[in-house]
Amino acid sequence: MTDSGIENLLKEERLFPPSQAFASTATGTADLYEEAERDFVGYWTRQAKERLTWFKEPTEGLDDSNAPFFTWFADGELNISYNCLDRHLDQGGDKIAYHWVGEPGDTRTITYQELSDEVNKFANGLRSLGVEKGDRVAIYMGMVPELPIAMLACSRIGAPHSVIFGGFSADSIVDRVNDQGAKLLITCDGAWRRGTVVPLKDNCDTAMEGTPSIEHCIVVDRTHSDVSMEQGRDIWWHELVADQSTDCDPEVMNAEDLLYILYTSGTTAKPKGIMHTTGGYLTGAATTHALVFDIKPDTDVYWCAADIGWVTGHTYIVYGPLTNHTTSVMYEGTPDFPDKDRLWSIVEEYNVSIFYTAPTAIRAFMKWGVEFPDGYDLSSLRLLGTVGEPINPAAWMWYRDHIGPVDAPIVDTWWQTETGCIMISPLPGVTATKPGSATKALPGISADVVDIEGNSVPLGSGGFLTITKPWPSMLRSIYGDDERYVSTYWSRYPGVYFPGDGAKIDEDGYLWILGRVDDVMNISGHRISTMEVESALVSHDAVAEAAVVGATDDLTGQAIAAFVTLRGTFEESDDLHEELRNHVATKIGAIAKPKSIIFTPDLPKTRSGKIMRRLLRDISDHRTLGDVTTLANAEIVQAIADQAEAQQAKE
């Protein structure tokens, strides 16, 4: 084996065709692939014109004359908040936009008309503070209705917003605000998390000592906390909007005007400010939301259980659902507070029909046990989705067997902050699914798996995922750093977008995402994906979750070090240690057999739920531990390090 590709070790034979009943009413149809294959620019242009309302309809599609700085619909004019709100009011202003559930148990039901009124009042409030078209606005909030209201108000007046996840530190606020030169900051006094208050305003106060561009800070009174309010700078939200009009003319925006900046965290470099523009982004958001989730606006209750601080929440809690006149659920808290049945109680109460969550959450549900979902009536569910990282087949099957009806499609979606919308996913009602596979690129998206030289790999092989044609919702650049944009995404394979993920393509042409290329291990010259070894471990009945990394090894270059969390009824032992090692060898081959397995009650995860393998590599190689400030559970890292040291001493 050379290093030209990635090993294809894990085999999955199960195939689940869509039911005839689902296929007969599906929103997406097979002919969309044919249309897009014939003319992908024409396909996307039709979606833009049919799904959006334009003040000036575009006559241009794709302009690739300055690649990789592509533009879409560049002579078109529209406003996103108008598409999300105004155009729906005549035929459905009393329709529910959001069922909101607060962590302490308070609830709000917000109609499209009410949402429109609140957006307009806040947009007028922003204008009264001197916020104009082009001014950047930073938003640092919990999952409260004022968050989408703030985003929509910014889009209404043409002020690009930048949402900063409410779990980030003051330093993270400083970095992001200063990079973009934000004029105004919007926050809450605090946010509820597992029964305690996260001090958002205090974090902002610390941050604003180092953010000279901020002129005002608007504060939502969410937790009734005693916070400092600086005269002339800080303003209560409710006081700002109290006397504002519910009428606010939407700014006419060019399709290529900046809508938002969303920062992706870098492990060694400063965060990258990903830029998304107006017309192309909304085209991708609305199209994929409708097709991938088979949206029936008149009957569905849709729940994307993500945080709006991440791109998933931007596209599939705010802009996609509202453009498609959908009723959504929005939840403030965590899945395990006050108990591990919280999400299922919400599904039952609101008759949720579409549920979209992360594999990390699904594996947590597995660990907690089936008694929690089994205690509720989940029969309203008709479609399930996953997002955020590759899902292993065992978790996929658990999701199918214990959450939705067994014939409910599961849409395993691959995309990124940079792509703006889902790129690879089953089309429900059309695509036969395989547990663990994101299946194929959506209509209008062109994906390929290539070797290190950029040549397409044969079926049954692994390599590097690439996107070979532009798409409307793609990032336009990195804010203030065009050179970094080109070098990060377009330099490895000239003219082709490289997202940084490994993938394999099976004999049926199905795509399997193998995770970040950084997470590929080199074992005796074999390039092995962490995802495949983790999937083999989780397929054992004892394992709830697993993470593996390549540890430095004098003999093989790297050796596989595994970190395993057990299901509640199992206990760690030397026998189980060997059983799991042999289980991996049986599942995918002796070359992938872990050299070591550390049992741990949890794995280090970011606040978005991603496993921080960088820290596990530090532990495995006995290095000084790296930065843990972005973790949701920083205390677990030292505990794992202590366990690893104890095990090494025993060996």
Query: Measured between alpha carbons, how far is 411 from 401 in angstroms, rounded to an integer?
Result: 15
Round the CA-based radius of gyration of the chain to a whole number and report it: 24
CA 96 to chain centroid: 24
pLDDT of residue 390: 86
Q: How many Cα atoms within 13 Å fall on the side-chain side of residue 313?
A: 25
256: number of CA atoms within 13 Å, CB side? 14
Tens of pLDDT, residue by residue over 179-222, are 999 999 999 999 999 999 999 999 999 999 999 999 999 999 99
- Which residue range(s) make up the domain with 646? 540-650
Chain segment 7-48, per-residue pLDDT in tens: 666 677 899 999 999 999 999 999 999 999 999 999 999 999
Q: Using the predicted structure, report yes or no on whether residue 467 has a pLDDT greater than 80.
A: yes
| 493 class by beta-carbon count within 10 Å (0-12 exposed, 13-18 middle, 19+ buried) | middle
Rounded distance between C-alpha atoms, residue 330 and residue 209, angstroms:
33
**Is 277 part of any domain?**
no
Q: Identify the residue whose tokens are 């660990």.
A: 367
Number of structural domains (the chain) is 1
Q: Which of 534, 587, 402 lies closest to 13 in space, CA to CA?
A: 587
617 and 550 in contact (C-beta within 8 Å)?
yes
Q: Is residue 371 part of a domain?
A: no
Predicted confidence at residue 622, as pLDDT, reads 80
Cα 262 from Cα 310, distance rounded (Å): 8
| Contact between residue 113 and residue 96 where contact means Cβ atoms under 8 Å apart | no
Residue 75 covered by a domain: no
pTM of the shown model: 0.87
Residue 394 CA to residue 401 CA, distance in Å, equals 11
| Pairing, β 184-188 against β 191-193 | unpaired
Answer yes or no: is pLDDT of 628 > 70. Answer: no
Q: CA-to-CA distance for 604 and 103, rounded, in angstroms?
A: 24
Closest CA to 210 of 231, 187, 185, 240: 185
pLDDT at 65 over 90: yes
The beta strands (E) that lie in 555-611 are given as 557-566, 596-599
In a domain, 559, yes or no: yes
- Alpha helical stretches, state H, 351-503: 359-368, 371-374, 393-402, 482-489
Give the mean model confidence (pLDDT) for residues 59-84.
Answer: 98
Token pair 């594999």 is found at 359
Does a structural domain hold residue 577?
Answer: yes
| pLDDT band, very low/low/confident/very high, at 614 (cuts 50, 70, 90) | confident
Q: Determine what percent of the chain is predicted with pLDDT higher than 90.
A: 75
Structure confidence at residue 2 as a pLDDT band (50, 70, 90): very low
d(CA 180, CA 160): 10
Residue 1: pLDDT above 60? no
pLDDT tops 60 at residue 298: yes
Q: Is residue 84 part of a domain?
A: no
Lowest mean pLDDT among 50-59, 127-136, 567-576: 567-576
Nearest to 513 by CA among 644, 416, 414: 414
Q: How many CA atoms lie within 13 A of 198 on its CB side?
A: 22
Q: Does the residue 314 lie in any domain?
A: no
Can you tell me the mean pLDDT for 489-497?
94
Least confident range from 187-201, 255-269, 475-489, 521-535: namely 521-535
CA angle at 147 for the pair 146 and 152, rounded to the nearest 5°: 95
Cβ contact 372:344 at 8 Å: yes
624: CATH = 3.30.300.30
Q: What counts of helices (H) and strands (E) characterise the chain?
A: 22, 29
Report yes or no on 581 lying in a domain: yes
CA-to-CA distance for 361 and 358, rounded, in angstroms?
5
The rounded mean pLDDT for the chain is: 92
Residue 5 is predicted with a pLDDT of 65
Is the distance from CB of 577 to CB of 562 less than 8 angstroms?
Answer: no
